[in-house]
Amino acid sequence: MSEKISVMISEADVDKRIAEVAKQISEDFAGEELHLITILKGGVFFSCELAKRITLPVSLDFMSVSSYGDATKSSGVVKIVKDLDEPIKGKNVLVVEDIVDSGRTLTYLLEYLKARNPKSLTLCTMLDKPSRRVKPVDVKYTAFEIEDKFVVGYGLDYAQKYRNLPYIGCVELDG
Ligand code: IMP
Ligand code: MG
């Protein structure tokens, strides 16, 4: 089986929108410092472009989580593969995700992070598929809402491929 990728959101459109989100975040947190927690691996491309455009002092940390369950459905039970390097107590934490789908991963992560007493805890995602939501999540910053299609590129993978595409593509299976 092979797959074809068609462009859903062009590189120029993604970049333009990331600049808008970064501007909004910079305004909302004016006078504060921000601690970005990027969820590996998918959030990395978005996070770099976002961080470069935020005009506040920014520090970075990373978490890697894996969801128990099959490849297409997350179970909500999340295993922490890589934990934070730095404490988050008293910090303005901005969690940066690639995509919110069922919401199970973020629901788990939020509880986990909240227990570490940050000053504030805010979510930012590149993509949101609201029609797929099982667990409600309060996402403050969304670059794009999309319909229920499997997407790749700009960090997102299909079987670990296509993360490096500079645009957001839609996967069409054939063969
Ligand atoms: P959920 O919100 O717990 O269901 O899981 C979100 C995670 O599922 C994301 O961080 C992605 O790793 C993965 N995911 C969901 N939808 C897609 C997609 O369309 N393409 C690639 N990965 C996806
Ligand atoms: Mg992810």
- 173 domain residue, yes or no: no
pLDDT of the residue at 67: 76
Count other Cβ atoms within 10 Å, centred on residue 149: 12
CATH of the domain at 142: 3.40.50.2020
- What is the pTM for the complete model shown? 0.94
Q: Identify which ligand lies nearest to the alpha carbon of 109.
A: 1
Looking from the CA of residue 129, the nearest atom of ligand 1 is: 16
- 172 domain residue, yes or no: no
Task: Please return the burial class of 41, using the count of CB atoms within 10 Å of its CB with bins 0-12, 13-18 and 19+.
Answer: middle
Structural domain range at position 121: 12-149
- 171 domain residue, yes or no: no
Number of compact structural domains in the chain: 1
pLDDT of the residue at 173: 78
Task: Please return the burial class of 93, using the count of CB atoms within 10 Å of its CB with bins 0-12, 13-18 and 19+.
Answer: buried
The pLDDT of 48-59, averaged and rounded, is 98
User: For ligand 1, atom 10, which residue shows the shortest CA distance?
Assistant: 99
pLDDT of the residue at 22: 98
Give the pairing type, strands 120-128 and 92-100: parallel
Looking from the CA of residue 150, the nearest atom of ligand 1 is: 19
- 19 domain residue, yes or no: yes
Q: Residue 98: CB within 6 Å of ligand 1? A: yes
The pLDDT of 46-75, averaged and rounded, is 86
Active site residues: 101
pLDDT of the residue at 2: 79
Q: How far is the CA of 98 from the centre of ligand 2 (A)?
A: 6
Nearest Cα residue to 14 out of 140, 127, 129: 127
- 94 domain residue, yes or no: yes
Query: Among 13-22, 68-77, 119-128, which stretch is predicted with the lowest mean pLDDT?
Result: 68-77
* pLDDT of 72 above 60: no
Tell me if residue 112 falls in helix, strand or coil.
helix
Backbone φ and ψ for 33, nearest 5 degrees, come out as -105, 150
The pLDDT tens digits of the residues spanning 74-110 come to 666 788 999 999 999 999 999 999 999 999 999 999 9
- 175 domain residue, yes or no: no
- 89 domain residue, yes or no: yes
Q: What is the dihedral of CA 46, 69, 7, 130, to 10 degrees?
A: -80
